[in-house]
Structure 1
Amino acid sequence: MKEIMAEKKANPFSDLIFNIIIPSVVLMKLSGDEYLGSVGALVVALAFPIIFGGYELIRYKKFNFISLLGFVSVLLTGGIGLLELDTKWLAIKEAFIPGLIGLGVFISTFTKYPVVSKLLLNEKVLNLPTIKERLAETNQQAKFDRCLMQSNYLFASTFVFSSVMNYILATVIVTSPAGTAGFNEELGRLTLMSYPVIAIPSMLMIMGIFYFVWRQIRQMTQLETEQIFNTK
């Protein structure tokens, strides 16, 4: 039972509620002087993803580079608002985080551990012994390695897309001076808009990449889907 709890993943709806919906509502509805004020609303809104992230870390005992970047992103957003910096820094920050991840994914292509390989070539996901055996039998291993390299480039491009769109959205939406109620409201709108405009298209692109890899495995090995995936 303990092993099942340890392997249980965070609820994506909780992610959406605590990282996007609640902070956005607080920023857009409670930033007026009659409520929390611009500074108070910003602090409360940013507290939700920080506390939720800490809770997830304690509960699931997992922490990774992406989580660290998310935490840094929240702190930078708070710093820009509380220090009342020029809003151009918000746009730069919004583009920098996914851009940095994309650069890391791209660089991993030239190492022994491309990110796509780490994500997909996992015995919990794929029936690796059977796949490797069939690739060796059909002399397709080199072709499959090229497929993984192409997939890694495509995966990196999804973060480039996210970086560019983040910069454009931040530039267009957030125009009020930092530290004002208007800035908070626009920041909340930016957070809400980033999900349908950036997150969902990026997820669809990633699903397309995984579908591409699955199709390539089927063509190269002539295995059926139930033979490719580990169903245990």
Structure 2
Amino acid sequence: MDNTQGMTASPRPTHKPRPLIDLAVSILLPSAVLMKLSSPERLGADGALLLALAFPLGWGAFELLRYRKFNFIALLGLVSVLLTGGIGLLQLDSRWLAVKEATIPGVIGLAVLFSTRTRKPLIHSLLYNEKVLDVARIQQQLQARGHSAAFERRLLNATYWLSGTFFFSAAMNYILARWLVNSPAGSEAFNAELAHMNLLSYPMIAIPSMLMMMAIFYYLWRTIHDLTGLGLDDIMAAHHRDKP
């Protein structure tokens, strides 16, 4: 008898955002390790750095392998972690850390900006997509009212502002790294400063960037509402509308 008869392939798990877990694994735990375990009588500077990097690196690898979906942002995050570890373990000048911190969001900002020259700007993947909005219904209403061209112009403006949020993050990352991390890479002081920078990056960079993204989404929603007449419940994707 065929043991596979009647068996069905298990469905691929659906990725759900887990911001609190992301924050704990990527920022809080590594920062605690760097601050508490970098002394010579504990793990030492290199050992603590390796352990701290293992948390975001392992979590990012798990996310990529678990959901088997190429994620450009996650890939950049993994590269960022590896570069940070390389700077510390190779004991490079701490100025390279500031360059690295600015490069990752800067590359994303440039990608968003250059995508305006393509047929599908990256804002379609990040905000205006079928997982969040009922794109088919919105497009139908835009065409019916003759506002498709006006909507594309406003969507282009939103794309420029979206790239601006990443450029803001790049500039702030560079300033924060140059301000806080001045000790030789690979030292206990370097690890402590790196932990301090990671902790401050959330209130000084992540939260303002999140507020900017919310403002862009509000602008997008107002644009859709003004041009289509649809309400918020009408434009949300079906799986959001079905929630109690």
Equivalent residue in structure 2 for 1:96, among 103, 121, 125 = 103
Question: 1:150 corresponds to which residue?
Answer: 157
- Superposed, which structure 2 residues align to 1:150-229 within 5 Å? 150-229=157-236
Question: 2:119 corresponds to which residue?
Answer: 112
Question: 2:3 corresponds to which residue?
Answer: none
> Take 2:64 and 2:15, find their aligned partners in 1: how far apart are those partners?
13
Bigger drift between 117-126 and 81-90 goes to 117-126
What amino acid maps onto 2:133 in structure 1?
L
Q: Does 1:47 align with 2:57?
A: no
> Take 2:191 and 2:128, find their aligned partners in 1: how far apart are those partners?
43
The 3 A distance-change label for structure 1 pair 229 and 20 is same
- Superposed, which structure 2 residues align to 1:3-152 within 5 Å? 3=11, 6-152=13-159
Bigger drift between 17-26 and 126-135 goes to 126-135
TM-score, normalised by the number of residues in structure 1:
0.94
> Take 1:129 and 1:37, find their aligned partners in 2: how far apart are those partners?
56
> Take 2:138 and 2:156, find their aligned partners in 1: how far apart are those partners?
18
1:155–1:206 contact (8 Å) kept in structure 2: yes
- After superposition, the CA RMSD in angstroms is 1.6
2:64–2:74 contact (8 Å) kept in structure 1: no
Instruction: Please state whether the residue corresponding to 1:172 is helix, strand or coil.
Output: helix
> Take 1:130 and 1:53, find their aligned partners in 2: how far apart are those partners?
34
The 3 A distance-change label for structure 1 pair 56 and 124 is closer
> Take 1:10 and 1:131, find their aligned partners in 2: how far apart are those partners?
25
Deviation at 1:62, TM superposition (A): 2.6
The 3 A distance-change label for structure 1 pair 53 and 118 is closer
> Take 2:19 and 2:226, find their aligned partners in 1: how far apart are those partners?
33
> Take 1:160 and 1:8, find their aligned partners in 2: how far apart are those partners?
27
> Take 2:236 and 2:39, find their aligned partners in 1: how far apart are those partners?
53
**Identity percentage of aligned residues:** 53
1 or 2, which has the higher helix percentage?
1
Instruction: Please state whether the residue corresponding to 1:166 is helix, strand or coil.
Output: helix
* Count, aligned residues: 231
Deviations 1:25-84 (A, max 9, x none): 111111111111111111111111111112222222233111111111111111111111
Deviations 1:112-144 (A, max 9, x none): 111112334433322233322221222111110
> Take 2:41 and 2:28, find their aligned partners in 1: how far apart are those partners?
22
> Take 1:46 and 1:131, find their aligned partners in 2: how far apart are those partners?
43
Deviation at 1:198, TM superposition (A): 0.4
* Structure 1 unmatched runs, 5+: none
The 3 A distance-change label for structure 1 pair 142 and 191 is same
Deviation at 1:187, TM superposition (A): 0.4
TM-score, normalised by the number of residues in structure 2:
0.90
> Take 1:181 and 1:199, find their aligned partners in 2: how far apart are those partners?
26
